[in-house]
């Protein structure tokens, strides 16, 4: 009887250890984003002193050796288009908050949520179903290759943060298609007119959110 009790206790201990390990496990992407939550908003910001939306997105991907332009509309030309129903962690999601084309970008983190830099709240996590953003959703792009996705977006055992900040990963080749023609035109207009991240566009966004 004592032997049975000891066996049961050992199994319970193993189960608890397994559950705890998996509950605490997070992906490298999760770890980087988690460390930036609460960073204040700064127009044109690209550092931890303050980010705008594309500055935040570019900063996160730079941690993995992926270079992205500091412009949401220009980012919409990178990688390959992906359907909203097929989103996976690490995909970029784009919104038209200016009424003149893509003007906001965030990083999809799974569970129907995305991380982004808000003008009033800084770096936060928002539901994709949020009324304001759901109405203004435009498209999504996949930047990470399947192998890169496995390395940085899938939960891994705990490891030093430095590792997540130095590894260079493989990205998906840019693949514009016919469906992206209008998107590309909007991107050029937004980039040339600096509509991607103007104060007026983001002021309108925050006014609508409140």
Active-site amino acid positions? 53, 104, 116
Residue bearing tokens 């893509």: 102
Q: How many angstroms from the chain centroid is the CA of residue 133?
A: 15
In whole angstroms, give the CA distance from residue 15 to residue 12: 5
Nearest to 168 by CA among 54, 28, 39: 28
Helices (H), 94-159: 131-136, 146-152
In whole angstroms, give the CA distance from residue 55 to residue 48: 10
In whole angstroms, give the CA distance from residue 118 to residue 115: 9
């Amino acid at each position: 009887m004592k032997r049975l009790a000891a066996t049961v206790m050992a199994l319970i201990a193993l189960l608890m250890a397994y559950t705890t390990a998996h509950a605490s496990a997070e992906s490298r992407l999760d770890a980087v984003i988690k460390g930036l939550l609460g960073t204040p908003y700064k127009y044109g910001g690209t550092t931890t002193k303050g980010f705008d939306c594309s500055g935040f997105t570019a900063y996160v991907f730079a941690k993995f050796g992926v270079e992205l332009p500091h412009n949401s509309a220009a980012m919409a030309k990178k990688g390959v288009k992906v359907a909203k129903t097929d989103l996976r962690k690490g995909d970029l999601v784009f919104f038209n908050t200016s009424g003149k084309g893509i003007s906001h970008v965030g990083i999809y983190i799974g569970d129907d949520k995305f991380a982004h830099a808000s003008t009033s709240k800084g770096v936060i996590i928002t539901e994709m179903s949020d009324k304001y953003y759901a109405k203004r959703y435009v498209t999504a792009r996949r930047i990470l290759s399947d192998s890169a996705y496995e390395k940085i977006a899938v939960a891994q055992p705990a490891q030093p943060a430095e590792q997540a900040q130095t590894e260079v990963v493989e990205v998906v080749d840019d693949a514009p298609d016919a469906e992206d023609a209008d998107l590309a035109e909007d991107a050029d207009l937004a980039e040339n007119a600096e509509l991607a991240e103007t104060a007026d566009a983001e002021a309108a966004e925050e006014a609508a959110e409140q």
